[in-house]
């Protein structure tokens, strides 16, 4: 029994609070108060405040990377791969919106050397997307686009998705969301 459930609760509360107030604005006392125990007790669960951020950031980043790698390694054509990358992102963002929110908003608060490490992972993810697009342009399934710009545009155009699931207000159906985004990315707004 008793499988670190208290620690998981602590981390979950931390995640929620950091989402609400931002990492810097969230104090260890804030977290402890919501857990209903003293600040000092927090250090029975984590080594430092920074550790909370690092834990979520690198764990979720890895999830994105392994998914991306599986898709890139497949033998589907580039357009199918792009659809899968978009689909995968939406699924993660719908399942773990707070973790994705952290990735989008709080990575600047990492300290060296973790900061550089994370920035490298980010830039690697962009490189993987660029490779996918270049593949599609070369094989002719994509138009002759500027890969650098297209990478930034596409990644940016899905970056907001977590927001539709982070606060329970607007509950968009992930399937419908995927259909719409894929349609926009592939064919744009034009008729």
Partner DNA sequence: TTCAAATATAAACAATTGTTGATGTAGATT
Partner DNA sequence: AATCTACATCAACAATTGTTTATATTTGAA
Closer residue to a second copy, CB minimum distance, 6 or 179: 179
Is residue 40 a contact point for DNA (CB under 7 A)?
yes
Partner interacting with residue 189 (select from DNA, a second copy, none; CB below 5-8 Å by kind): a second copy
For residue 52 the two structure tokens come to 């909370």
Partner interacting with residue 37 (select from a second copy, DNA, none; CB below 5-8 Å by kind): DNA
**What residues contact 4, with CB distance under 8 A and at least 6 apart?**
none
What b/e string do you get for 132-165 counting C-beta neighbours within 10 Å, with b at 16 or more? bbbbbbeeeebeeeebeebbeebbeebeebbebb
Is residue 42 a contact point for DNA (CB under 7 A)?
yes
Cα gap 146→158, rounded to integer Å:
19
Partner interacting with residue 143 (select from a second copy, DNA, none; CB below 5-8 Å by kind): a second copy
Is residue 7 a contact point for DNA (CB under 7 A)?
yes
From 38, 51, 69, 160, residue interacting with a second copy (rule: CB under 8 A):
160
Cβ–Cβ < 8 Å for 53, 70: no
Cα gap 158→82, rounded to integer Å:
12
Closer residue to DNA, CB minimum distance, 24 or 138: 24
What does the per-residue mask of binding to a second copy show for 48-87, with x meaning CB under 8 A?
A: -------------------------------x--x-----
20-27 LR contacts (CB < 8 Å, sep 24+): 22/105, 22/106, 23/53, 23/102, 23/106, 23/109, 24/109
Closer residue to DNA, CB minimum distance, 47 or 59: 47
Rounded to a whole number of angstroms, the minimum distance from the CB of residue 2 to a second copy is 37
Q: Which residues bind DNA (CB under 7 A)?
A: 1-2, 4-7, 26-29, 36-44, 47-50
């Amino acid at each position: 029994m008793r499988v670190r459930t208290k620690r998981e609760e602590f981390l979950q509360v931390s995640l929620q609070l950091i989402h609400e107030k931002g990492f810097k604005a969230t104090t260890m006392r804030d977290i402890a108060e919501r857990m209903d125990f003293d600040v000092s007790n927090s250090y029975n669960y984590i080594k430092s405040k920074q550790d909370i951020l690092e834990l979520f950031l690198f764990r979720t980043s890895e999830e994105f990377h392994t998914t991306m790698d599986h898709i890139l390694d497949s033998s589907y054509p580039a357009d199918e791969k792009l659809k899968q990358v978009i689909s995968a992102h939406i699924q993660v963002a719908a399942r773990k919106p707070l973790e994705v929110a952290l990735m989008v908003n709080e990575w600047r608060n990492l300290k060296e050397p973790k900061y550089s490490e994370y920035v490298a992972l980010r830039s690697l993810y962009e490189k993987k997307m660029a490779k996918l697009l270049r593949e599609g342009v070369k094989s002719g399934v994509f138009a002759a686009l500027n890969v650098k710009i297209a990478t930034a545009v596409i990644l940016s155009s899905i970056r907001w998705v977590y927001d539709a699931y982070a606060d329970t207000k607007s509950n968009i159906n992930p399937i419908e969301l995927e259909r719409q985004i894929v349609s926009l990315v592939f064919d744009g707004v034009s008729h």
